[in-house]
A and B are shown apart, each in its own frame.
Chain A
């Protein structure tokens, strides 16, 4: 067996970056599965991409411009209707600033 592609500590770090709470059982399973997928993805290394430009979208397109015309946007009440928690016309969230 070669070295694992990804360690448990890396799984925990990536989960922190992704804002994903994982249980201990999920972390180990995730490590094993990501290891298998990353090993498969490693086959990309065999491809010679020297001098090949990257393609980020299939249809080349830059700077789609339009006139800056004022138009009505979605009504505030419609946008707030799905909020899990609100205070009047605001989205309410847990405290961010320490007292």
Chain B
């Protein structure tokens, strides 16, 4: 079945003329029609456009001139990335009918590479959350257990790949929003270095932390998609003009002699014993493949979450000021005056978590609190970054759990702070701007996926992917599929 294949396998079928892009697009669209009512990964399915793109890819293969490995590959995009002419909601009422006039750079790059875009994927509203329960429209289900959340905020993007509803997807990661759902859904999710991938057309949440990255069925697919989206963009002045290596070329280099650091601060009380056991077993596997492990210390880890919950809301409160009911999005009628219109529109258009973060950020930036909260958090951010710099003087990658636990049940975490604690192992990586990947590293007794996180030096995605691929090559977790009824 074409939908069961990875990107690189599907690309091989196209090249050998064993399948066509149209056959693949139809297979995925049929599967989405049959299974997405259960999984609820998609906000919008763009079937007609997808079939037109697939037909164009068919023609390129027929003429013997395909564009590259992504030509004709059916992908899907988190609904926070602008798609020209296709509704982009951020899973928010305030953008429910927003149709962007341009493509995000990453979307344009995928289209230029010949990819077929199946649709847009559900998420926590404005990427704020860890479960997709903050979507204004519906909650995406975890394909491994439909009563559980897929993680978030890129929950639709993770669930779509896990349930074979897209060959690969794009998500975004501000505090763990790619890696945490990848862990919960048993797939590969990569957050590149801050500045590696353009943010142009990514609807901003926290601009100093947001980064776009791929979800894949395996590490090779994540590398292929990263290759297509990486690189400097004149439209994003925070994207960095450094060379993009050939990620696939270095993938099979193995880990012999690779120095891996194990941070003591990530093996703490509250870490699920099954997660800890799986991660420790994964470290042994890497050692068995020739890696050299040593313990490293990241002493400010426990303060990362607190610093993040000042910095990210502060940036969000500023970024989300643009939703004022004037240029696009919702406007609530019947206002007394302009200020009243702003307030009523925002009050009606934003969900509870977005309001909470806008309030928190406004508070932290307000007169009298700025130094105590925002100024302090930025200094703690420096210390978190220095922790990593020191560790990376001695090791090449850091290996740790992605999350303290596995996918939880819908409705189980009502207290916002309990929800935030999910991201305790992913947030420091965003604060330091480093690349990190989550890869499948086992399952609990009850059959829920466990994620292993590999963190690298800035702009060294190649080593992160090489270590992840070495582990994947020695294990078979990524081959396991959730038992969803097949159409």
Contact = CB atoms under 8 A, between A and B. Distances in A.
B105 to A, nearest CB: 15
Interface stretch (B5-13, B17-25, B234-242, B254-262): B234-242
Contacts of B430: 58
A18 interface: yes
A55 to B, nearest CB: 4
B194 A59 contact: yes
Interface in B273-311: 300, 302-303, 306-307, 309-310
A20 B347 contact: yes
A83 B328 contact: yes
Q: What is the predominant secondary structure among interface residues of chain B facing chain A?
A: helix
Nearest to B193: A59
Interface residues of A, number: 52
A54 B373 CA distance: 12
Interface stretch (B95-103, B121-129, B169-177): B95-103
Q: What is the predominant secondary structure among interface residues of chain A facing chain B?
A: loop
A68 interface: no
B190 interface: no
B326 interface: yes
A54 B337 contact: no
A20 B416 contact: no
A61 B238 contact: yes
Given A33-B416, A81-B101, A18 B330 contact: no
Contacts of A64: 237-238
Contact of A36 (B193, B238, B307, B417): B417
A57 B210 CA distance: 11
A8 interface: no
A11 B358 CA distance: 12
Contacts of A20: 343, 346-347, 350, 355, 358-359
Contacts of B363: 6, 10, 14, 34, 38
A55 B331 contact: no
Given A83-B327, A84-B330, A94 B380 contact: no
A93 B331 CA distance: 10
Interface in B28-67: none
A2 interface: no
B385 interface: yes
Contact of B300 (A15, A47, A83): A47
Nearest to A60: B433
Interface in B137-189: none
Nearest to B97: A82
Given A15-B359, A54-B375, A93-B326, A82 B99 contact: yes
Interface string A30-55: 10011011101111111101001111
A74 B330 CA distance: 21
B347 A40 contact: no
A81 B458 CA distance: 40
Given A43-B303, A91-B327, A21 B346 contact: yes
Interface of A: 6, 10-11, 14-15, 17-22, 26, 30, 33-34, 36-38, 40-47, 49, 52-59, 61, 64, 66, 74-75, 78-79, 81-85, 91, 93-96
Give the top 10 A-B pairs by smallest Cβ distance, nearest first.
A58-B433, A21-B347, A54-B378, A82-B328, A84-B331, A49-B379, A78-B101, A64-B237, A21-B343, A19-B342
